[in-house]
Amino acid sequence: MNTAPFLSVAVFATLLVSAPLGQGMESLRPYLPSAEAMPSPTDLSVPAAEPSPAMAAEAKTGPLPPVVRVNVASQSFNFSQPWRKNPPVLRQGLGVVLTDGRILVTAELVNNHTYVELEKPETALKAAAQVEAVDYDANLALLAAPAAEFLQSINGARLDETAAVGDRVEILQLESNGTPVRTPATITTIEVGAYPVDENAFLVFKLSAPLQSRENSFTIPVFKNDCLVGLVMRYDPRSQTADVVPSPVIQHFLDAAGREPYAGFPRAGLTFSDTRDPQLRRFAKLPNGTGGAYITKVLPGSPAEAAGVAVGDVLLRVDGKTIDQDGNYEDPRFGKISLAHYVSTVMQAGQKLPVTVWRDGAEVQLEGTVAPRDRSSMISQPYIFDAPPKFVIVGGLVFSELSRQYLREWGPNWPREAPLHLVYLDRYQSELPDNRGKIVFVSDVLPGPNTVGYENLSHEVVEEVNGRAIKSLADLAAAVDSPTGPFHRIKLAEDPGLVVLDVEGSKAEEERIQRDYRLPSLRQLDGAE
């Protein structure tokens, strides 16, 4: 058996890495003094005579903050035993009520949700809610507006359009009794940075703030003058810095969510390197004193490829914006910001992108149309939520498709602990041939008479089954369904190279396995793309 050594708990542990204020800290709450008993600096900003929740509901003194509690039951899938779901967990967060009555949360709060519920802070009135749109790349989700009377007395928040480095903002949390707690914070940095689940980079506001762990630990909103600045997605208690999904990213998400089909965040499909090295500049015949970003990779099928951008080109201007030596442009609001922000967030999918590149000592004008990344063409998905893992069981051998979600079953240190060749294939998938297809491998062996001698198989990549090249689990299922003789011949990329199963024996074994292991099915092919 080669079951991944981590069970369901580890999956959530990885989630908590990107949300350190999550449930791991909630469990510490009983040991902390109650919030009432411990006046924190933040309490000073709250009016001293804060009425009790019941009184607040009746007295309706002043506008209530534009937030509701969002309680989510979620159940993730177990990628090492793909027929199984992990135990359900409960997460709590704050949702921001928008002016149209819809509610904004981080995508992390609602991933793999089985039930989403809204709760009014001051009355604990509850209502079921639907997820209307979700973008895991940008870590944002939108919940449909509840019945009008539910949000009575709550005015929706507008998005902030002015926050800049140095500005004072407020982080909003709620006491367990519904009392708002506003923690002052300062925006220290605005830059393009990593988001939790992918190598995607979007605009990030970094705040300096002393945050306390409270029960609404996912999706903590940040306000400036009652306008939404962003949602906290990470908090490091040691350095007391919070990373925030900021309003420009939220605005783009809301715009995209208003159009069908949801197009998300566009990309150019290239990677670049700085051109600060004077030796590189002279080699590329770049004039001194100018900028330019050195193109190091153009993704196949990307807008950049369609526009004719090539590796070795130096990007000088994009949509009329001059690109400096670090690949930044001058944003009217944020100053020098990576080009990635302009393409992904300022632009909308489908817009034309004129670019000027430096090639062989001369400027070349090119034009492309930015588009979201075609996720289904990726060899290994960076994440899979809300959909079961795909698998196929053949005569006791379990086959899976490589995804980073699978590798995360090895826990937070998966890049060092998961099978190295799979980590390598995932990490460097952009270097594999364009027509590589998905990577199908033996993920487990359920031992039985049919699999004698195969007990030690462990993560060997499948190349061919019954003479057919395997570029997806669907290929494998189809190949198994049409055997060419009395045996299934499974050719592996790694040793032992060839595994043979008896066709009739496998069928009998599959019946036994389904019965003895209580499997709902022997195949799951409708997973996420």
Report the interface residues with another protein, using CB under 8 A. 271, 273, 276-277, 279-280, 282-283, 294, 296-297, 415, 420-421, 423-424, 427-428, 430-431, 450-454, 486-487, 489, 493-502, 505
Integer CA distances (angstroms), 523 to 247, 462, 476, in order: 42, 17, 11
By beta-carbon proximity to another protein, the closer residue of 81 and 450 is 450
Given a contact cutoff of 8 angstroms between Cβ atoms, the answer to whether 398 and 453 are in contact is no
By beta-carbon proximity to another protein, the closer residue of 424 and 517 is 424
By beta-carbon proximity to another protein, the closer residue of 164 and 498 is 498
Given a contact cutoff of 8 angstroms between Cβ atoms, the answer to whether 339 and 331 are in contact is no
To another protein, the closest distance from the beta carbon of 495 in angstroms equals 4
By beta-carbon proximity to another protein, the closer residue of 223 and 358 is 358
Rounded Cα gap, residues 239 and 4, in angstroms: 34
Rounded Cα gap, residues 185 and 384, in angstroms: 34
To another protein, the closest distance from the beta carbon of 185 in angstroms equals 32
Hey, what amino acid is at 291?
A: G
To another protein, the closest distance from the beta carbon of 356 in angstroms equals 19
By beta-carbon proximity to another protein, the closer residue of 199 and 255 is 199
To another protein, the closest distance from the beta carbon of 230 in angstroms equals 30
To another protein, the closest distance from the beta carbon of 279 in angstroms equals 4
To another protein, the closest distance from the beta carbon of 419 in angstroms equals 10
To another protein, the closest distance from the beta carbon of 449 in angstroms equals 9
How is 106-164 classified by DSSP, letter by letter?
-HHHHTTEEEEEEE-TTT--EEE--EEEEETTTTEEEEPP--GGGGTT-PPBPBPS---
Helices (H) and strands (E) in the chain, counts: 13, 31
By beta-carbon proximity to another protein, the closer residue of 235 and 454 is 454
Given a contact cutoff of 8 angstroms between Cβ atoms, the answer to whether 305 and 269 are in contact is yes
To another protein, the closest distance from the beta carbon of 337 in angstroms equals 21
Select from 99, 26, 64 the least CA-distant residue to 178. 64
To another protein, the closest distance from the beta carbon of 120 in angstroms equals 48
100 Cβ neighbours under 8 A, 6+ residues apart: 145, 156
By beta-carbon proximity to another protein, the closer residue of 218 and 406 is 406
Integer CA distances (angstroms), 197 to 72, 108, 137, 233, 396, in order: 19, 9, 7, 11, 33
By beta-carbon proximity to another protein, the closer residue of 83 and 454 is 454
To another protein, the closest distance from the beta carbon of 228 in angstroms equals 37
By beta-carbon proximity to another protein, the closer residue of 115 and 428 is 428
Rounded Cα gap, residues 376 and 354, in angstroms: 27
Select from 210, 104, 220 the least CA-distant residue to 157. 104
Integer CA distances (angstroms), 440 to 17, 404, 497, in order: 28, 13, 14
By beta-carbon proximity to another protein, the closer residue of 31 and 283 is 283
How is 188-212 classified by DSSP, letter by letter?
EEEEEEE-SSSS-EEEEEEEE--PP
Q: Which residues pair with 388 in a beta bridge?
A: none
By beta-carbon proximity to another protein, the closer residue of 77 and 410 is 410
Select from 1, 49, 14, 7 the least CA-distant residue to 385. 14
Question: In this structure, how many other beta carbons lie within 10 angstroms of the beta carbon of residue 201?
Answer: 16
To another protein, the closest distance from the beta carbon of 364 in angstroms equals 19
Select from 326, 180, 179, 160 the least CA-distant residue to 244. 160
To another protein, the closest distance from the beta carbon of 147 in angstroms equals 51
Q: Which residues pair with 365 in a beta bridge?
A: 356
By beta-carbon proximity to another protein, the closer residue of 81 and 451 is 451
Cis peptide before 261 (omega within 30 of 0): yes
Reported as type and span, the H/E element at residue 447 is none
* 138 φψ region: left (φ > 0), alpha (ψ -120 to 50), beta (else): alpha
